C-alpha cells in the first residue's frame, strides 16, 4: 500500500516535471471550498512555489457562503493569490438565450453542467492571458463513476489526482496538515458537494466514498469479477449500479487531460498517463 508521503512526493514531482516539460511556471485552478481543489492547490504550491499558484473562486447561484469562506481561508492559510469571479450573471444570460431552445423545460443536469462549463471557460481564459496551465482537481472515484462534466470540471492541462481515490484524498489532506493547518478543518469535515443545485451532496449520485472506494479498488486494482464480489458479501444491487455507471461513463475517459499515474491501473490509456517513480 502506498503511503500518503509517497503519494505526496510522486504528485509534487509529477507536477514539477509536467510544468518543466511544458515550459510553464504557473498553475491556475478553481477553488470551490471543497477538499479536492484544496489538496491540489497545496500540492501545486509545494511543487512550483507559492508565487506560482493562483486560484479563481467562482461562486454560482447554488454556492454556499461557507464554501466561499472555506476557499478564502485556504488562500489565507497558504498565501495563495486569487480572484473572485461570480458566475451568476453569466449563467443567467446563458439561460435567457437558451430559453427558446430549451422550450422552458424543467432544470436538469443540463443546467448543472452549464455552471461547470462556464467555470472552465473562465479558467482557460485566465490561463491563456497569463501564460499558465489549468490544473484539474478530479479524483479517481469521480472519474471511474463519470461524476464530472466534460469541458467543465473535467477540463485542464493535467489531472493531478485522477489516479487517487477520494478516501486517499482525505488521507493526503491529513498529511498536508501534519505540521500545521493548511487545509481548513471545515473543508475536511463537511459533506462533499458540487453545489450545482440546492442542497446537493455527492451522495445524491454516488454511494458513500467509504463504501464506494473499496469496491472500485476490488474491480480496478484487483481485477475481481462481479460474481466474486457478490460471493464475498458485496451487495449485488449496489455493485450492479456501480458497474453500470462505470461502463456508461467510460467514453469520458477518452476526452479528459492526461493524468499523473501512481498505480498500475490508471483509468486512462497508457499514452495519457504520466508516471514518475515514487
| pLDDT tens, position by position, 183-241 | 999 999 999 998 888 889 999 999 999 999 999 999 999 999 999 999 999 999 999 99
pLDDT value of position 197: 87
Task: Flag whether 173 is in a domain.
Answer: yes
3-state secondary structure of 274: strand
Residue 230 lies in a domain: no
CA 166, 171, 174 angle in degrees (round to 5)? Answer: 130
Whole-model pTM: value is: 0.96
Look at residue 241 and tell me if it is in a domain.
no
- Report the C-alpha gap between 96 and 126 in whole angstroms: 25
* Confidence band, pLDDT 50/70/90 cuts, at residue 1: low
Cell representation of residue 236: 449485488
Residue located via cell numbers 427558446: 100
Count of the separate structural domains present in the chain: 1
23: number of Cβ within 10 Å = 7
9: number of Cβ within 10 Å: 15
Residue 32 is assigned to a structural domain of this protein: yes
Which CATH number belongs to the domain containing residue 136 in this structure? Answer: 3.40.50.620
Count of CB atoms within 10 A of residue 36's CB? 24
Phi-psi region of 132 (alpha: psi -120 to 50; beta: other; left: phi over 0): beta
pLDDT of residue 277: 62
Give the whole-angstrom CA distance, residue 35 versus residue 187: 6
pLDDT interval class at 259 (50, 70, 90):
very high
Q: Is 48 a residue whose pLDDT tops 80? A: yes
Is 244 domain-assigned?
A: no
Q: Average pLDDT, whole number, for the chain?
A: 95
Domain for residue 162, yes or no? yes
d(CA 130, CA 148): 26
The answer to whether residue 76 is domain-embedded is: yes
pLDDT at 195: 87
CB 73 within 8 A of CB 184: yes
pLDDT in tens, 78-137: 999 999 999 999 999 999 999 999 987 888 999 999 999 999 999 999 999 999 999 999
Residues spanned by the domain of 64: 4-202+251-275
227 domain residue, yes or no: no
The owner of cell 461524476 is 147
Amino acid at each position: 500500500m502506498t503511503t500518503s508521503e509517497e503519494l505526496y512526493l510522486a504528485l509534487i514531482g509529477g507536477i514539477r516535471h509536467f510544468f518543466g516539460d511544458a515550459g510553464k511556471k504557473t498553475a491556475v485552478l478553481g477553488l470551490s471550498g471543497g477538499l479536492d481543489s484544496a489538496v491540489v492547490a497545496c500540492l501545486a504550491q509545494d511543487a512550483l512555489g507559492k508565487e506560482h499558484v493562483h486560484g479563481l473562486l467562482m461562486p454560482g447561484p447554488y454556492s454556499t457562503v461557507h464554501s466561499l469562506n472555506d476557499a478564502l481561508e485556504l488562500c489565507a492559510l497558504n498565501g495563495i493569490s486569487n480572484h473572485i469571479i461570480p458566475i451568476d450573471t453569466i449563467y443567467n444570460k446563458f439561460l435567457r438565450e437558451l430559453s427558446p431552445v430549451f422550450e422552458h423545460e424543467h432544470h436538469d443536469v443540463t443546467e448543472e453542467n452549464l455552471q461547470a462549463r462556464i467555470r472552465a471557460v473562465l479558467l482557460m481564459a485566465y490561463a491563456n492571458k497569463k501564460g499558465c496551465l489549468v490544473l484539474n482537481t478530479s479524483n479517481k472515484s469521480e472519474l471511474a463513476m463519470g461524476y464530472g462534466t466534460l469541458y467543465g470540471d473535467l477540463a485542464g492541462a493535467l489531472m493531478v489526482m485522477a489516479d487517487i481515490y477520494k478516501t486517499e484524498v482525505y488521507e493526503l489532506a491529513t498529511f498536508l496538515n501534519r505540521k500545521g493547518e493548511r487545509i481548513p478543518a471545515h473543508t475536511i469535515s463537511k459533506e462533499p458537494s458540487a453545489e450545482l443545485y440546492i442542497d446537493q451532496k455527492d451522495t445524491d449520485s454516488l454511494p458513500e466514498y467509504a463504501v464506494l472506494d473499496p469496491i472500485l479498488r476490488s474491480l480496478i486494482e484487483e481485477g475481481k469479477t462481479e460474481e466474486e464480489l457478490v460471493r464475498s458479501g458485496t451487495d449485488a444491487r449496489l455493485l450492479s449500479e456501480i458497474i453500470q455507471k462505470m461502463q456508461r461513463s467510460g467514453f469520458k475517459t477518452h476526452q479528459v487531460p492526461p493524468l499523473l499515474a501512481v498505480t498500475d491501473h490508471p483509468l486512462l490509456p497508457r499514452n495519457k498517463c504520466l508516471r514518475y517513480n515514487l
